[in-house]
A and B are shown apart, each in its own frame.
Chain A
Amino acid sequence: DAGVIQSPRHEVTEMGQEVTLRCKPISGHNSLFWYRQTMMRGLELLIYFNNNVPIDDSGMPEDRFSAKMPNASFSTLKIQPSEPRDSAVYFCASSLVQGSYNEQFFGPGTRLTVL
């Protein structure tokens, strides 16, 4: 398996623009997680899906952020409009959750810079 795939790897945009980050989880995994990593706040969980359904989006910072998972093999995280403080590395992770067992596998991340 190719692992978790994220695109783009780098994104530079101007304040106010819409940004869409994409993730393809590992085939067969039933859970998907979006994280944001910054020097100041470390790794923060934004939202996670189980069987394509959003379970907990309490980490989504504000209404400018939205995430979708239309099928088991694809998810998007959208920021509209983007702001400089959104600059961070965004990671997608997936896992095969069986009972309480939940080993997460991370993608390489998307480094977002908002000017």
Chain B
Amino acid sequence: KQEVTQIPAALSVPEGENLVLNCSFTDSAIYNLQWFRQDPGKGLTSLLLIQSSQREQTSGRLNASLDKSSGRSTLYIAASQPGDSATYLCAVTGNQFYFGTGTSLTVIP
């Protein structure tokens, strides 16, 4: 069974700092990896999707990379802002769908 792990579980950084969130998965037979953000009491908002044939995707200040062979993905957030505070989840799609437990990010003004 696929296992998806996100480390750290929580992260607190000062505004303006660049940061990296990590996602690892045990089965490299995936079709896609998707990054989401979830604000407290809200649904999930899709940030980026990387197909298995791709190495990275970029959207604004966000950059996600994928290394299937090592079972890792990273989400890079440049010049963090207090509005980036949320929980970030990664999800892998293969024959089934698995979510990580998330990283709770706090950006301190």
Contacts from A to B (Cβ < 8 Å): 4, 33, 42-45, 48, 56, 58, 91, 93, 100-109
Contact = CB atoms under 8 A, between A and B. Distances in A.
Interface of B: 31-32, 34, 36, 42-46, 49, 51-52, 89, 91, 93, 96-102
A109 to B, nearest CB: 5
A108 B91 contact: no
Given A100-B31, A101-B32, A101-B51, A48 B97 contact: yes
B104 to A, nearest CB: 12
* Main SS class of interface, A: strand
Contacts of B31: 100-102
Given A48-B97, A100-B32, A43 B45 contact: no
Contacts of B32: 100-103
Contacts of A106: 36, 43-46
Contact of A33 (B36, B49, B97): B97
